[in-house]
Chains A and B, each alone.
Chain A
Amino acid sequence: MEHIVIIGNGISGITAARHIRKLSDKKITVISAESHYFFSRTALMYIYMGHMKFEHTQPYENWFWKKNRIDLKLAYVKSIDTDNKVLHLNSKETLDYDKLIIATGSKPNKFGWPGQDLNGVMGMYHKQDLENLEQHAPNNKVCQHAVIVGGGLIGIELAEMLSSRDISVTFLVRESSFWNGVLPEGESQMINRHIKNHHIDLRLSSNLREIISDENGKVKSVVVDETGEEIRCDIVGLTAGVTPNIDFIKSSNIETDKGVLVNRYLETNIEHVYAIGDCAQQREAIGNRRPIEAVWYTGRMMGETIAQTLCGNRITYNPGHWFNSAKFFDIEYQTYGWVHSEKNKPDYENHFHWKHEDDTKCITIAYHRDSNAFLGINTFGIRMKHEVFDTWLSEKKNMDYVINNLTKANFDPEFYSRFENEILQSCNHEMQTN
């Protein structure tokens, strides 16, 4: 029986395993050094905040794996011998495979900052990071102040986590406004204000110069590059993005760049070796997508795709329209299609922006300057339907259609206030004055 080994039990690896099981009777082994059972990485924050226990982040009960004949192995893969199709584990054990799927995900970026490996300096990605945080910041007596470096999705989540335990936070963001490499200005600035309303000391256009140690090798303070200001703190969160977690592959014959290089079939340069999820890097661009997408949904979709290929239906990874979501403290964010920030916006992309007066809801619709075609939407504080926008993008609806039919896309709970009329009026007004 063909043995499929998957390194990594995150969403990509586990999705692949589940779908391979649905399609075949192959022997499946999933290896992880992080946790015995699959859990939702995106939910780690809620464990620290006390919303859930670790067991609640596990989407399947523990009996599920045995019942579905998916072998789980808690081990760290040291190296891959692709010539002999053997994995060398840290326990000196070896494991043979017929087909190998690399789904090892990411690790937090570190940019060579002085002091970045001190005690009390941590990323927020792995289960172990959470345990580390629990140890160093159990409460606001042990941890009176925290500094977070890097203004992305994980940074703002870490800020929310810490403030749930009343730990004061300074948030150093390199950009001039939160996440404005991705978000258009109006949205980015609304989130700036929301962060500050949560009593986070948000420092924009601020870089980290160094992390200073106390006499025990534990973090004592950080120095801000721009001002030279020293900020006393008990922990430092490094959340300046993630990078593929593939160091152990570098010694093998598998070709890598930042990530494991794959073609559109998610195949590496070595036959029978595949890479999916955060750690995979596309050789060939797919639409507007980046070559490495460290996103839950893309990991899942690659898992669905690779299962087909391994079970005899070789197909390319061909994701549909881009979508994503996040939550910034109390404000939910969803995006469908492409809405670029001012920094990355192509010439032809025009924006219509509407913001509610309460400063917690806004939308931005991107459309083509010439054809008026609908390109994408960002929505904050108003839930909208994935399926509706997916259809509109496929059907190449124009801006007028979208703005006049926005009601169809609403996904807010019953009895919520609706804003479609206000948005429409604001849009008409803007179009007339332009």
Chain B
Amino acid sequence: MMNSKINHSMSLAKPDAHALSIKQRIAIALGITGLFILALALFNTNFPNKSLFLWLSLGLIFLGTILFANDAYLTKLEGIKNDAVWFKSISSRGTLGWITGIVLTGFYIVLYFYPQYLGLTSDGSSNTGIISLFDPLSYLLSGNPASQWFVYGTLYTVAILAFGYKFMLKYRHNRYQQLRTASVMFFQLGFAFLIPEFMARLNESPNYNLPYYDLKSIWPLNYYLFDSWSINGFLSSGTLGLTLLIFGVVSIFVISPFLTYKYGKRWYCSWVCGCGGLAETAGDPFRHLSSKKLSAWKIERWLIHTVLVFSVIMTTAVVYSFLGKDPNSYWLTQNVFLIGVGVLLSVIFAVVMLFKRDELGKDAKYGAIAYFITIAALIILYYTGTTEKVFLIKSGHLRSAYGLYIGSLFSGVIGTGFYPILGNRVWCRFGCPMAAILGFQQRMFSKFRITTNGGQCISCGNCSTYCEMGIDVRAYAQKGENIVRSSCVGCGICAAVCPRGVLKLENGSMEGRINSNEILLGNDVDLMELVNKR
């Protein structure tokens, strides 16, 4: 039976072809040696020359991935490389997939909740364990000892760079994929990793007290941007600090809406974002594991918008809690702020309901619910908020609840730990409030869409299978309908894997962007007209 065959992937050593070549085995051995050095450090092996072993470890991980990718892709002609994806244990929820998922999840739990096991010390004494292994690199960059976040950031960057290289070889016939990958590699290395470390150098001067700031990480993904320590940090760092804070605000209200209007949310989610960057590189082998069921889509929409509402209320409450009451000392008081937020949300709500009501259809109701919940929260805030407490609870509690449940558990533990089980975009699809905002705009007000090519679709399902966001692309393609979905991150893989050249990512006119057909191009012209007429 064919179906029993597919389930064989639960076995570790699959007897069938798709065995790894000798070179690939050597490459994997090198990579695992690199990881093994990290594991030894984790268990407090005291390396004589930390710098050497750190570079050895990272170097071996790079080398292993590069050699593996070279042998896997450069030995073959250019083209789609999805052979045996559903047979390999790692990429078909087999034993290796589950082990990887459990190890990753465990890593995130330790990282977020038990950093002492990574060697973080609290009493000011020097680091031990794996964190101490990264001390030399951290001193080199920022002049400070490493933290668990530095270790994580380094490994994260290594993963995006190494697997980004692999991805670029896999799609070496596809310049869209290559440019997009080069872009996420650049933004991770420069913006997320190096620049914040260099900014920390500035803090050696007493004139600066800059918070860690990844310039490309925009609120609400960057939910701590408006924390009081962050704001105070910016405000106490001269013109540079103020400029950075203004840039953060301008990113939210000007840059991001403008770029999303021009290019869709892909400009961020699959070209710039760090979460997207990891998903598109290290996470690529798991993209087909996302659920395409209609039920998953329903869960997605409830969940991601709930997180968005939570994040808006939380941020408002946090900012509220450190604003003053006296308009004479500073114009932005608690009340001005609350009214400002309320007005802004009301304007957005009114504009959408006025102009886009028909496009929203049934969703208009849910949008209205979300709006009224948020406004209600603002009103409650007005009556219960003090500088100490919001909603009658300590404002810090609300903020830490968000950080714990959304920032750590959802985006880290589930979002990345579950790559091999639920696919590589779990966080981006079900949780990211930034994706929700960009998606809302993409659906309502953007030139971006995926167009379909007349009647050429053969309903094969490659597009849907390889959509990491779980969009049933085929459902649109086989009707000749443009794909305008808020969740689409514009990775372009559906278009790449389509064997009939049916899909194309485009930025075009807003007019006629959303279409739908009953009968496709190719049939009787009169019949098409008759039936497609609504």
Contacts and interface: CB of A to CB of B under 8 A. Distances in A.
Contact of A320 (B85, B179, B522): B522
Contacts of A352: none
Interface in A181-228: 197-198
Q: Top 6 closest A-B pairs, CB basis? A: A386-B454, A330-B79, A383-B501, A43-B460, A50-B84, A139-B16
Contacts of A239: none
Interface string B496-534: 110111001110000000000011111111111011000
A164 B77 CA distance: 12
Which of under 10, 10 to 19, 20 to 34, or 35 or more describes the interface residues of A?
35 or more
A413 interface: yes
B2 interface: yes
Contacts of A384: 501
A136 to B, nearest CB: 12
A284 to B, nearest CB: 16
A332 B501 contact: yes
Contacts of A130: 2
A127 B87 CA distance: 19
A56 B461 CA distance: 6
A413 B83 contact: no
Contacts of B84: 49-50, 164-165
A46 interface: yes
Main secondary structure of the interface of B (DSSP, over half): loop
B325 to A, nearest CB: 52
Interface string B464-488: 1100000000110010000000000
Contacts of A316: 524
Contacts of B519: 304
Interface of B: 1-3, 5-6, 15-18, 77-80, 82-88, 173-176, 179, 293-294, 453-456, 458-462, 464-465, 474-475, 478, 492, 495-497, 499-501, 504-506, 518-528, 530-531
B524 A318 contact: yes
Contacts of A315: 524, 527
Contact of B176 (A19, A127, A326, A416): A416
B203 to A, nearest CB: 40
A54 B3 contact: yes
Interface string A102-144: 0000000000000000000000000100110010001111000
A225 to B, nearest CB: 31
B495 to A, nearest CB: 6
A178 B87 CA distance: 32
A386 B456 contact: yes
Contact of B501 (A198, A304, A325): A325
A52 interface: yes
A59 B478 contact: yes
Given A52-B465, A387-B454, A387-B521, A413 B505 contact: yes
A415 B179 contact: yes
A385 B454 CA distance: 7
Contact of A330 (B77, B518, B520, B528): B77
B455 A304 contact: no
A82 interface: no
23 contacts: A19-B518, A42-B459, A43-B460, A49-B84, A50-B18, A51-B80, A51-B465, A52-B460, A54-B2, A130-B2, A134-B2, A164-B84, A316-B524, A317-B524, A318-B527, A327-B500, A334-B456, A334-B500, A334-B501, A390-B521, A413-B175, A413-B505, A416-B174
B518 A22 contact: yes
